[in-house]
Structure 1
Amino acid sequence: MTTTDIVTIATRPRLEHRPIRRLLARPEMGALIAALAVMAFFSLYTDNFLTLPGAGVWLESASTFGIMAVAVALLMIGGEFDLSAGVLTGFTALVVGILTTHYGLNIWVAVVLSLVFALAIGALNGFLVMKTGLPSFIVTLGTFFILAGIDLAVTKLITGQVAIQGMTKVPIYDSIQPLFGSSIQIGGGTFYISTLWWLVVTALATWMLLRTPAGNWIFAVGGALHAARQIGVPILKTKIGLFMTTAGAAWLVGMISLFRTSTVQANTGVGQEFIYIICAVVGGCLMTGGYGSAIGAALGALIYGMVFQSITFAQWDTNWLRTFLGGMLLLAVFLNHWVRLRAGGGSR
């Protein structure tokens, strides 16, 4: 046997497995397999999971979590966290509700002002993180408590209660409601426009990550901050932009919630920030940054939406949902770690 033959035999397995390794290196592969498994299980276990009425229910549930999970995934790829994302959804809806029902402001103007407030809060979060050097976990935890207090105290001070109701009585409410809260009936199932918003947000985020310089910057600041600074990546601009993106997504989810139900509670969104993070991690994002995908986060939200509603379909005790979330998070972390080792630790 010649030296050439030895080299050929030694390298053949590696070449044969290269396509598999490339496939495994995709962040969303674990979530895709898990989503198919969950879908198959509940399709067999329950009668109405794959019916149009059933699909409408779990898609509606997954869509709002999916919008936020995609934005949170971008932020996590950039190496940061935002614990104020959940409470910000309620804050934006309360701003619109109070300005329109108690101060008579035009509803379109109120919605735009709500977006401005959200983006300003996101920019402030990013600015504080970058200028102080404090962990984003701490900075946004502070923002979380500030907004939670404002939501409760200010709403009760102005309205005398902790909820905004009567949105349907606001002038020209019907001119904006279809944009965020409309639905269509298909085969007995109700499908909301939030699902379309979810698909659009996922597509835009995926395009930005994989086809634009901004996507390269996001991976760079999350995976190798020092190197990114040396090669001229606009770190401050990128980080603040990511926090503003998360805030913008929170505004969108807040509007969807408000105009779908025409009411909002002062505690809306509180605690859901952890679900967004879980969905992003299940979708392949690393807690250390620099790795992940928008599609994976969307699939993570799909898994959550399917399980959340299917527990009801199966008539199980819903108190087990949090146990499932914890197990899903741990399993995803172990699986992502294993996949990266098997795939050779690809950075993207």
Structure 2
Amino acid sequence: MTDPGESGPLGAGVGESDSGTVASDDGAAGDAAMEPAAVAELAERIADNVEAVIVGKREAVEHVVVTLLARGHLLVEDVPGVGKTTLAKAVARSIDGSFKRVQFTPDLLPSDVTGVNVFDQRTDEFEFQPGPVFANVVLGDEINRAPPKTQSALLEAMEERQVTTDGETRRLPDPFCVIATQNDVEPGQTYDLPVAEVDRFTKKIRLGYPDTDEEAEIIGRMAGDHPVESVEPVAAIDDVRRARATVGAIEATEELRRYVARLAVHTRRNARLGVSPRGSLALLRASQARAALDGRGYVIPDDVQTEAPTVFAHRIRSDSGGADGAEIVADALDRVPVE
């Protein structure tokens, strides 16, 4: 595979349009980008700030930062009480962004998420009351407790960064990132997420239990006020927009893009449902963000291999009794050559 070198042009990356022009989330091209080294420094500041309240989870925190910079969304599947909500709050506070939380329950309605038009008798007109989805960071807590109809209320928001109610479309804030948690210990009281929704999550991760020393540190920090309330911003929303513009322009050669595509094809040949083209694009964008975290202006195969397990595995549905998604991704990384 050709190595573009340190001087590779940033303009050869993957933007929002087919023409190669780098576009921001709101469709505007040419946002004032940072140098990759500045993005790396910004990402480190955010990760360090989040780690002040999330003890011993540096890798998980970096996955969140990568997702944010890759213009994606994150699904966190784990047991209760390991810090999923704290993680989302800390990220929002670190970038000085708005934060809203939605507690998904069996009786939650789609309009409880997206918003609803309410008739105002004083003006004799309908007025739109925005739902909690109108925030920079939206926490969907225990998303699999709500029925599929309510879960699907997020589909348009996650893919198109907009909400349509009563025929009127409204843009969501920029940046917009959904961090959803999924309960995996009470399957009898939850619903499976629709495949179309799962595919819209850039990454799926687990936080896991802390070890003894980490848990002792957590207990000490939580003895008084919750430390997340004292988290101060270390970046501005505009910094995140500029960093995203840089990440979208990180160079990915044709050979690198074909490597991503071959990995996706391998999953389709070895599972009932393999990775979609949306998943391939998500992997490339996550790889661009990973390259930026290292201060590089170009993607290398190591970036792809680092990101593939958390980007690909949750999109795969294997035959009953067969290998799970993680095993299929591991097999793809082992068998598909880097050319």
Larger relative strand fraction: 2
Bigger helix fraction: 1
Output the TM-score relative to the length of structure 2. 0.27
Q: TM-score when scaled to structure 1?
A: 0.27
Structure number with higher relative contact order (C-alpha < 8 Å, ≥ 6 residues apart): 1
